[in-house]
Amino acid sequence: MKKLFFLLPVLIIVSGFITQKYIDDNLKKLLAQFKVSEDDVKSSVLYNITGLSYYIPNVKVLKSLALNDRAEMVELIGIRIKEYVNTQEFINKYNEFRETRKPNEPEKPKYSEELKEEQKASLSNSIKEMEANMKNLQADQKPMFEEVINQLKQQLKDIDDPEKSFYTPQTDNIIKQNYDQQLENYAVDLKMWNEDFPVNNPKPLIKKWLDRFLSNSKDIDFNAQLNTVKNKQVFVNPEYERKDPQWKLYFRAGKEPVEAARKFASVWISELK
């Protein structure tokens, strides 16, 4: 009995190793048929999940597989993706993507005093440049420049006139109100961002990806009839012909792999809750 208890963990480990080797070997064979590597699959995982994409590399190859092989392929790739999204490598990539979706904090606004000084500097520079350029003008062109320069000088003077200046306490109040509203909106967006993309936790995004797949693939009529029109296959049912490309992709993939994918996705979602 002691020997049995001693051997049991060893048997479990060996069994797990054999199972993993079976998965690895079969997955490599299947991916070779699709002319994609496991690295290709890895690199596309984040793109597919974040873009809510459901790319199938080669539908013709998929359809050429035996029925059992189609479902097995889906399950094997699903297992590997499920393993990969729990690795630190994927978590790091997810966190990088997460930062790209972070809302931008509103910039602190400039108030009247700062804006006024900036406009003063701009007007003063314009006046100096025009006065310098006017020296090189012909006499008949100078009056027009003098008129513009005088207008700029008047604007420069009016900046400090409380009756004429735009830069008033009322303007500052409007600026502050706008900034406060921006901060409120930013706080809401930041809260939503943290909920949708929690740090080190891609589960909400994965769940959203799986939910959308289940929704899009739930009513595929795999027995739909096709006609060939101008060397192109079209659905006899015009309603099906108006379906989006994703629906048509699932139809082309076939019932067995799609149902296998739906079963895998449903189980995975239940584990994410």
* Spatial separation of the C-alpha atoms in residues 53 and 46, rounded to whole Å: 10
Q: Which of 272, 166, 142, 161 is nearest to 214 (CA)?
A: 272
Q: What torsion, rounded to 10 degrees, do the Cα atoms 130, 136, 137, 142 define? A: 50
Per-residue pLDDT of the chain (273 residues; tens, 9 = 90+): 333 333 333 222 232 333 344 345 555 555 555 556 666 667 778 888 887 665 555 555 555 565 667 777 788 878 888 988 999 999 999 999 999 999 999 999 999 888 888 888 998 898 888 888 888 878 888 788 788 888 888 888 888 888 778 788 898 999 999 999 999 999 999 999 999 999 999 999 999 999 998 998 988 999 999 998 888 889 999 999 999 888 888 888 888 888 988 999 999 999 987
User: Where is 140: in which H helix or E strand?
Assistant: none
Give the DSSP H or E segment for 234.
strand 232-235
